[in-house]
C-alpha cells in the first residue's frame, strides 16, 4: 500500500516485450530476410537465422528472421511473436543459418520453468547492453533481473523458447559463437 493513498502499490513488470511499430518491424524483417538469404550474409548470421515453415492453419509458407541461441548445447529461438504457435505440436521446416538452408524440426517449449531459466541464462550471457536487443525485451532500470522476473515475463509477455533440431547430423559445424556481437 502507498502511504499517500492507502491503495495497493502498482508493481510494473520488470521485463516486457520491446515496443515495436508494425511498419518498422515489417521493413526490418524484409531487410534481414534479404541479408540472411545471401550465400555469405556476414557476421549477423552467427546469431540471426531465417525460419521457414508452413502455417498450421493457413497452409501458407512463411519465412521469419529470428535470433538463434545455444543453451546446454541445444539450439533455441527466443520469441514472443505469434508465429511460435505453429510449433505446437512440433513441426518440420527449414532454418537458413550462416548462409545455409537446412531441414529442421521446431518445437515450442511448454515448460515455463525451463523457458525462464533459459532466458535468465541468455540475459546473463549477453548483459544489459546487448541482452534487450538480442532477446527482444525491455528491462526496467534497477537491479539485474532475477529468475522470478523471468518467470513472470514467461507468464505475462509471454516469452517463449522454440527448440530447434537440425537435420545435418552434425550441429557442431553450425555452432553459434555466443561471445560475438556483444
Average pLDDT over residues 31-51: 94
HSE-CB for 106 with a 13 A CA cutoff = 29
Provide the 3-class DSSP secondary structure of residue 158. coil
**Predicted local distance difference test score (pLDDT) of residue 18:** 85
In this structure, how many other beta carbons lie within 10 angstroms of the beta carbon of residue 10? 6
**Predicted local distance difference test score (pLDDT) of residue 180:** 38
**Predicted local distance difference test score (pLDDT) of residue 130:** 94
pLDDT digits (tens, 9 = 90+) for 110-129: 999 999 999 999 999 999 99
pTM of the model: 0.85
For all residues of the chain together, what is the average pLDDT? 88
Degrees to nearest 5, angle at CA 32 with 31 and 36: 125
Is the pLDDT at 157 greater than 80? The verdict is yes
Sign of CA dihedral 42, 171, 96, 21: negative
Average pLDDT over residues 10-26: 82
Adjacent-strand bridge partners of 96 = 50, 101
> Of the candidates 97, 106, 111, which has an alpha carbon nearest to the alpha carbon of residue 177?
97
Per-residue DSSP letter, 167 = T
Average pLDDT over residues 60-71: 96
**Predicted local distance difference test score (pLDDT) of residue 5:** 63
Is the pLDDT at 2 greater than 70? The verdict is no
Q: What is the CA radius of gyration of the chain?
A: 17
Provide the 3-class DSSP secondary structure of residue 83. helix
CA pair distance 16, 45, nearest whole angstrom: 26
80 or 182: which carries more pLDDT confidence?
A: 80
Distance between start and end Cα atoms, the chain: 40
- Quick one: cell of 29? 524483417
**Predicted local distance difference test score (pLDDT) of residue 4:** 62
pLDDT band for 57, please (50, 70, 90 cuts).
very high
pLDDT band for 177, please (50, 70, 90 cuts).
very low
11 or 91: which carries more pLDDT confidence?
A: 91
- Quick one: cell of 119? 532466458
The string of DSSP letters for 17-51 reads EPP--HHHHHHHHHHHHHHHTSSS--GGGGTEEEE
Amino acid at each position: 500500500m502507498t502511504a499517500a493513498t492507502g491503495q495497493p502499490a502498482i508493481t510494473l513488470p520488470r521485463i516486457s516485450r520491446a515496443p515495436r511499430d508494425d511498419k518498422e518491424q515489417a521493413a526490418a524483417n524484409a531487410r534481414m530476410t534479404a541479408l540472411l538469404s545471401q550465400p555469405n550474409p556476414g557476421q549477423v548470421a552467427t546469431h540471426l537465422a531465417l525460419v521457414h515453415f508452413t502455417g498450421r492453419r493457413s497452409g501458407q509458407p512463411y519465412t521469419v528472421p529470428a535470433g538463434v541461441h545455444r543453451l546446454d548445447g541445444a539450439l533455441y529461438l527466443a520469441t514472443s511473436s505469434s508465429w511460435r504457435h505453429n510449433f505446437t505440436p512440433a513441426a518440420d521446416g527449414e532454418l537458413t543459418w550462416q548462409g545455409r538452408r537446412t531441414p529442421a524440426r521446431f518445437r515450442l517449449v511448454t515448460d515455463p520453468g525451463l523457458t525462464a531459466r533459459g532466458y535468465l541464462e541468455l540475459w546473463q550471457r549477453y548483459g544489459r547492453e546487448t541482452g534487450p536487443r538480442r532477446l527482444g525485451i525491455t528491462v526496467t532500470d534497477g537491479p539485474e533481473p532475477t529468475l522470478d522476473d523471468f518467470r513472470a515475463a514467461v507468464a505475462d509477455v509471454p516469452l517463449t523458447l522454440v527448440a530447434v533440431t537440425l537435420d545435418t547430423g552434425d550441429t557442431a559445424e553450425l555452432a553459434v559463437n555466443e561471445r560475438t556481437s556483444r
